[in-house]
Amino acid sequence: MMMKIKICGITNSNDALACAAAGVDMIGLNFYEQSPRYIRPEQARAIARKLFLSTQAVGIFVNAPVEEVRRVAHDVGLRVVQLHGSESPEVCAELARDFEIIKALRMDDRFDAQRASAYPRCTILLDTYDEEIAGGTGNVGDWELARTTKKFASRLILAGGLNPENVAQAFATVHPDGVDVCSGVETAPGVKDPGRIQQFVAAARNAERIEAARPC
């Protein structure tokens, strides 16, 4: 199965369409009001309706009540939800009845790779821990720890400080099922650079091709 490429923190239709044209598989629409990339559900709905069928919209929530997640996701027309807070395995399992769930875990010095096994029905997204910001920090994570974590996850998306310059090395080290970039393709929070998006996709796909060509 091909690696999934996700661009997070989309705030407008032009950036969404630039992602789709570049071959991005998923875009992230952020419903966390404290984020500089927050958008209202009605804005997200307008963006999602313009996407190509090959590009999927993902709703990002941070410690939101289950019913709020359901309501917003249904209103926007989302099938994939990313939970980026301290949501319990039980909350994730409950929402997994209705949606495909991406559960974000944030790595720091105390991170236990086996935490991923507590979310068997979720795709695990590994991001870099920051005391003040829930995501989109631009800080590079521990790729060796991410590689270990992959053993305990059903599927793993690598995030945290990725950009067109380092995504190939990240892929070669971790071999994730997906890669996620936010600030690494921006000119300002929530403002994407189409050229950087294209460079990121090209670098990620090239790394994937190189790995596939290696002899077993």
pLDDT digits (tens, 9 = 90+) for 61-105: 999 999 999 999 999 999 999 999 999 999 999 999 999 999 999
**Could you give the number of structural domains in the chain?**
1
pLDDT at 20 over 70: yes
Q: What DSSP line would sit under 21-37, residue for residue?
A: HHT-SEEEEE--TTSTT
CB neighbour list of residue 42: distance below 8 Å, 6 or more residues apart = none
Residue with tokens 């990620």: 204
DSSP three-state, residue 96: coil
Alpha carbons 98 and 173: distance in angstroms, whole number? 33
* Residue of 127, 177, 180, 182 marked catalytic: 127
Measured distance CA(183)–CA(114) in Å, rounded: 28
Instruction: Please name the residue ranges forming H helices in the chain.
Output: 13-22, 41-49, 66-76, 89-95, 143-150, 167-174, 194-213
Does the annotation mark 127 as catalytic? yes
Q: What's the confidence (pLDDT) of residue 141? A: 80
Which range among 76-80, 123-127, 133-137, 192-196 shows the weakest confidence by mean pLDDT? 133-137
Q: Is the pLDDT of residue 109 over 90?
A: no
Single out the catalytic residue among 8, 92, 122, 182.
Answer: 8
**What gap in Å lies between CA 105 and CA 126, rounded to an integer?**
5
For residue 20 the two structure tokens come to: 């789709």
CATH of the domain at 203: 3.20.20.70
What is the domain extent for residue 52?
4-213
pLDDT (0 to 100) of residue 130: 64
Bridge partner list, 159:
none
pTM > 0.75: yes or no: yes
Q: Can you give the pLDDT at residue 52?
A: 84
Amino acid of residue 73: A
> How far is it, in rounded angstroms, from Cα 185 to Cα 196?
5
pLDDT at 22 over 90: yes
